[in-house]
Amino acid sequence: MLRLETGDPGFAQAFDRIVRDRRESGDDVARDVTAILEDVRARGDETLAELTERFDGHRLASDEDWRISPEACRNAYDALRPELRDALELAAERIRSYHRAQLPENRDYLDETGVRLGAIWRPVEAAGLYIPGGRAAYPSSLLMNAIPAKVAGVERLVVCTPTPKGEVNPLVMAAAHIAGVGEIWRVGGAQAIGALAYGTDRISPVDVITGPGNAWVAEAKRQLYGVVGIDMVAGPSEILVIADGRNEPDWIAADLLSQAEHDPVSQSILITDDAAFADRVAAAVEAELAALPTAKVASESWAAHGVIIVVEQLEQAPALANALAAEHVELAVDEPDRLFASIRHAGSVFLGRYTPEAVGDYIAGPNHVLPTGRRARFASGLSVLDFMKRTSFIQLGDAALDAIGPAAVALAEAEGLPAHARSVAVRLGQ
């Protein structure tokens, strides 16, 4: 774990190294993914079967080996403990309610010249959702991806999820039932992204691909952007906690480790104005790790990428936060809105001492698929709009064309495009 103080002579250089650190895939991953995608495009299902057996130890032979049926998902839902079923249902309803409010409105109006203008929003026809499998199998991710697509009105949802050694996660199946997903394929990795984008004999192509995954999945989405739409290229998880000394150290330590346990290259950062509190949090992290079942991964992350920054005043924290543009930002202070007003770049912000980031991962309502790697400077979390597209429309009568057409002719001629000019001019009788 790295500790910095803003008053140190080398702080600016050390902080800049943290900002510029890229904890993402390298050229070797890009080369591997390119080869996999080319193979999927050329050989389709044959490649999927070979790679699924090689990487997941699962043989794709019968239809049951390839797909998880809606009936199996319903059975998994029915078999859940009541409290777990209720928790998933509550999460689904809160996610659905939040995302319904994101639905955009169509526009249709006449401007002052009599030109009819507007735009209509429509859902994409098919969306592919990638859901990790095995150890990192998260039913919450299925809900966070599938429900906005359903709210948008997408007719066909296709889930790809790996099933290592044939093991299917019952919580993911139950979440699929709750979300109303009927098409689930037991394939993963870059090859699954290729299948969703290009299509195979078994899997029809989709228009948009969303969902989290490892470095190979993220790289496949990056390479296929343009063939399909994607939500984002997601990297390792991040959390930035801005906290004063009046917090409970073990609360903040638990928050930092909530992201560290995702991946050895996840990053957890604390900014505080209290040096003694920083010491107590560092000690609390070690104590929490001693009892944490995911301590191996979390310890690697904290040791390699954990950071504690001591500032002279918390008012300095937003500038640092904006440079980091972190996926998750917690403001564990009495008046969080005061700092929040200065936070320009963040995937999602958690206000106050009783709002741990983990609440946002599961049950609050906003989407937990968020930009990482400083992409919060220009990108937003997954929303209903990722599953929709806007089509503008224009209608002119003769009077409206008389009003604005001559300007179009002038501009077309100035650009050296006479056919453009004539297509307007002939209607003006020129």
pLDDT digits (tens, 9 = 90+) for 254-288: 999 999 999 999 999 999 999 999 999 999 999 99
Shared domain check, 198 and 135: yes
Mean pLDDT, residues 70-92 taken together: 97
Q: Of the residues 364, 384, 409, which one is the last residue of a structural domain?
A: 364
Q: Of the residues 230, 246, 269, which one is the last residue of a structural domain?
A: 230
Shared domain check, 205 and 80: yes
Kindly give the pairing relationship between strand 388-395 and strand 2-5. unpaired
Mean pLDDT, residues 247-253 taken together: 98
The pLDDT-based confidence of 331 (bands split at 50, 70, 90) is very high
Domain presence at residue 387 = no
Domain presence at residue 118 = no
Q: Which amino acid, residue 284?
A: A
3-state secondary structure 187-211: CCHHHHHHHHHHCCCCCCCCCEEEC
Mean pLDDT, residues 57-62 taken together: 95
Shared domain check, 423 and 316: no
Q: List, in order, residues 6 or more apart from 190 with CB less than 8 Å away.
A: 32, 33, 36, 37, 216, 217, 219, 220
Domain limits at 128? 27-110+124-230
Residue 253 has pLDDT above 60, yes or no: yes
Respond yes or no: is residue 177 known to be catalytic.
no
Residue 324 has pLDDT above 70, yes or no: yes
Mean pLDDT, residues 67-94 taken together: 97
Please report the pLDDT score of residue 224 as a whole number. 98
Which of 328, 345, 357, 368 is flagged as catalytic? 328
Domain presence at residue 374 = no
Shared domain check, 318 and 410: no
Which of 219, 238, 288, 327 is flagged as catalytic? 327
Shared domain check, 134 and 81: yes
Enter the pTM of the model.
Answer: 0.94
Q: Of the residues 195, 230, 265, which one is the last residue of a structural domain?
A: 230
Residue 135 has pLDDT above 60, yes or no: no
Shared domain check, 401 and 358: no
Domain presence at residue 308 = yes
Cα gap 271→325, rounded to integer Å: 14
Strand partners, 123: 388
Residue 388 has pLDDT above 80, yes or no: yes
Shared domain check, 295 and 352: yes
- pLDDT tens readout for residues 138-175: 899 999 999 999 999 999 999 999 999 999 899 999 99
Please report the pLDDT score of residue 130 as a whole number. 97
Q: Are 361 and 354 in contact (CB under 8 A)?
A: no
Shared domain check, 178 and 35: yes
Q: How many distinct structural domains can be found in the chain?
A: 3
| 226/135: higher pLDDT | 226
The CATH number of the domain where 312 resides is what?
Answer: 3.40.50.1980
- pLDDT tens readout for residues 354-367: 999 999 999 999 99
Mean pLDDT, residues 188-206 taken together: 98
Please report the pLDDT score of residue 353 as a whole number. 98
Domain presence at residue 87 = yes
Domain presence at residue 379 = no
Respond yes or no: is residue 415 known to be catalytic.
no
Domain presence at residue 223 = yes
Residue 136 has pLDDT above 70, yes or no: no
The pLDDT-based confidence of 234 (bands split at 50, 70, 90) is confident
Please report the pLDDT score of residue 38 as a whole number. 98
Percentage of the chain surpassing pLDDT 70? 99
Question: Helices 398-414 & 418-425, crossing angle to 10 degrees?
Answer: 160
